[in-house]
């Protein structure tokens, strides 16, 4: 009886999740994690068809009802259509994971209006539109999880624009949590520090440090002397989505092995 209750508290059987940028990197790991817990997952992507088809096959092997939903999240109309299409095809929408992000690596002093416009549309604009639209379908027990970044809380050269957007998102997580809380919906963020993905490898290249050295230097500053894996980050996101986390809301959890609290001169 108690064990059955334990399983119930960590099951997403019968739930529907939408993961933005869900076909590569962290989004893929989250989609796989949610599917393992029993959710049907809609994975959004913009243009990488090959990754999308590969991930769809992997996720469908765990949760056959899962699907892809193509949308450019810089376009508010496409964000709203993505949410409505997911709810129409999968019958409801219980979990929204706002994960997709992209930016041009550029100092704030050199950023141009279109850099701000595009980065903020994709992160802040898409988040607000997606939560607004999702809230039309979400019942009590619903979950919204926003993926933040170390740039929201620390200086990261070339990431001033995205850092500003992520800081805005962390603030909006708190406000959405209070707006949706009375309906039994929780809203949280996960701030994962650094992890291995196409974008962190591109960033290491941008700052001119070989990826292994970049990784080793960041790990040296952390408490655990290593960075989190995609699966470890996805596990925390999945926990937030589980019934067991019903009273966790309005928080952004920093999940970085202790990196952001490390001594600046550690080597």
Ligand X SMILES: NC(=O)c1ccc[n+]([C@@H]2O[C@H](COP(=O)([O-])OP(=O)(O)OC[C@H]3O[C@@H](n4cnc5c(N)ncnc54)[C@H](OP(=O)(O)O)[C@@H]3O)[C@@H](O)[C@H]2O)c1
Provide the minimum distance between the beta carbon of 203 and ligand X in the complex, in angstroms, as a whole number.
7
Q: Which of residues 3-62 bind ligand X (CB under 6 A)?
A: 21, 23-27, 44-48, 51
- Of 197, 206, 231, 260, the residue at the interface with ligand X (CB under 6 A) is 197
Listed ranges 178-186, 192-200, 212-220, 240-248: which one lies at the site for ligand X (CB under 6 A): 192-200
Under rule CB under 6 A, residue 194 binds ligand X: yes
CB-wise, 113 or 182, nearer to ligand X? 113
Return the number of other C-beta atoms located less than 10 Å from residue 175's C-beta: 11
Cα separation, 98 vs 59, in Å, equals 18
| Distance of closest approach, residue 202 Cβ to ligand X, in angstroms | 8
Using rule CB under 6 A, residue 198 touches ligand X: yes
Q: How far is the CB of 224 from ligand X (least distance, A)?
A: 16
The residues, any chain, with a CB within 8 Å of residue 170's CB and separated by 6 or more, are 146, 148, 152, 189, 191, 252
Which of 25, 158 has the CB closer to ligand X? 25
The β-bridge partners of 128 are: none
Residue 63 has which token pair?
A: 């949760």
Closest-CA residue to 185 (of 242, 243, 144, 127): 144
Map the footprint of ligand X across residues 135-164, applying CB under 6 A.
Answer: 147, 149-150
Among 195, 221, 252, 255, binds ligand X (CB under 6 A): 195
Task: Output the CA angle 83-88-91, nearest 5 degrees.
Answer: 105
Name the residue nearer to ligand X (CB basis): 3 or 127. 127
Count of residues touching ligand X (by CB under 6 A) = 30
Site for ligand X contains 214 (CB under 6 A): no
Q: Which of 96, 92, 76 is nearest to 84 (CA)?
A: 92
Residue closer to ligand X, measured from CB, 87 or 122? 122
- Write down the least CB distance from residue 36 to ligand X, Å: 18
CB-facing half-sphere around the CA of 201: CA atoms within 13 A: 5
H helices of the chain, in order, are: 2-9, 25-36, 49-62, 76-90, 113-120, 126-134, 160-180, 198-206, 211-221, 230-241
Binding string, 62-101, against ligand X, x = CB under 6 A?
----------xxx------------------------xxx
Backbone torsions φ then ψ of 64, nearest 5 degrees:
-60, -25
Rg (CA), the chain: 18
Interface residues toward ligand X, by CB under 6 A: 21, 23-27, 44-48, 51, 72-74, 99-102, 122, 147, 149-150, 192, 194-195, 197-200
């Amino acid at each position: 009886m108690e064990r059955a209750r334990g399983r119930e508290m960590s099951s997403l059987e019968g739930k529907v999740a939408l993961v933005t940028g869900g076909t590569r990197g962290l989004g893929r790991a989250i989609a796989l994690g949610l599917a393992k817990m029993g959710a049907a997952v809609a994975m959004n992507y913009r243009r990488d068809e090959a990754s999308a088809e590969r991930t769809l096959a992997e996720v469908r092997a765990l949760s056959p009802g899962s699907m892809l939903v193509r949308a450019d999240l810089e376009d508010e109309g496409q964000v709203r259509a993505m949410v409505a299409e997911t709810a129409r095809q999968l019958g409801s929408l219980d979990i929204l994971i706002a994960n997709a992000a992209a930016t041009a690596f550029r100092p704030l002093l050199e950023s141009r209006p279109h850099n701000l416009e595009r980065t903020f549309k994709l992160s802040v604009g898409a988040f607000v539109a997606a939560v607004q639209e999702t809230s039309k379908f979400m019942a009590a027990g619903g979950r919204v999880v926003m993926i933040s970044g170390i740039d929201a809380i620390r200086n990261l050269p070339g990431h001033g624009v995205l850092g500003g957007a992520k800081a805005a998102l962390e603030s909006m997580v708190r406000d959405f949590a209070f707006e949706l809380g009375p309906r039994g919906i929780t809203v949280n963020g996960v701030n994962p520090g650094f992890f291995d993905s196409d974008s962190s490898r591109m960033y290491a290249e941008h700052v001119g440090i070989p990826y292994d050295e970049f990784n080793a230097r960041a790990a040296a500053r952390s408490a655990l002397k290593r960075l989190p894996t995609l699966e470890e980050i996805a596990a925390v996101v999945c926990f937030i989505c589980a019934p067991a986390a019903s009273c966790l809301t309005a928080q952004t959890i920093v999940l970085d092995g202790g990196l952001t609290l490390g001594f600046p001169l550690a080597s």
